[in-house]
Structures are given as C-alpha cells and as structure tokens.
Amino acid sequence: MRAIIAAVVVAGLAAPAFGDETTAIAYGKGLVVENCSGCHGVGAADKSTHPQAPPFRTLSQRYPLDALEEAFVEGIDTGHPDMPRFVASPEQITAILSYIATLNE
C-alpha cells in the first residue's frame, strides 16, 4: 500500500492552524499541487503523468482513509521507482487527507 501513496514534506513551511475544514482542505490541495502534481493527478479529473502514479482521487477508493493516514504517519519510502521519500507533519497529513476526501464527494 505504501508503494502507491504519496505524502508531502514542505521544507521550512509551517502548517497553518486550521480554523475550519475549508482551511485544511485548501492547505492540503496546495501541498499536493506543489509536491505531487508532477507525477500524480491531484484534481477531480486530471490524469497522472507518471504511469505508476495513481490519481489522488482514486486513493480513497483503493484504501480506507485511516490506512492512508497510517502510511503517511510512518513515512512513504517509495511510491513509484523514481518517487522521493516523503514524511509529512501531523498537520500536513490532516490537510492532505481532508483534500483527498473531497475528491470523491
């Protein structure tokens, strides 16, 4: 499962305090657009440019969000062969999962 999922690290970027779910979703979207969209489809309809990188909208269909959260907490060693290792802060994980959840609403 970890081999398919991407998480995000943004060096030097402090996660905002989330006042509401909308803020978390926007932050999560920004993280995945900035760090994952080079290979993964991160929107509601875009395709992944890397053949082994699944679109983010399919992740919650393939894995329960709590399983994704666990993988993010542990850090992702590799997703596709040329994917860098990512580790995300708890705030970033919350934001990323909030965003992923909106892709299938």
pLDDT, tens digit, 9 for 90 and up, residues 46-70 = 999 998 888 999 988 877 888 888 7
Of 104, 105, 91, residue with least CA distance to 24: 91
Share of the chain above pLDDT 70, in %: 75
Q: Which residues lie closer than 8 Å to 104 by C-beta, 6 or more apart?
A: 57, 60, 61
As a whole number of angstroms, the distance between CA 75 and CA 24 comes to 20
Digit-coded pLDDT (tens) for 11-27:
334 445 677 889 999 99
pLDDT of residue 11: 31
Average confidence score pLDDT of the chain = 78
- The reported pLDDT for the residue numbered 29 is 96
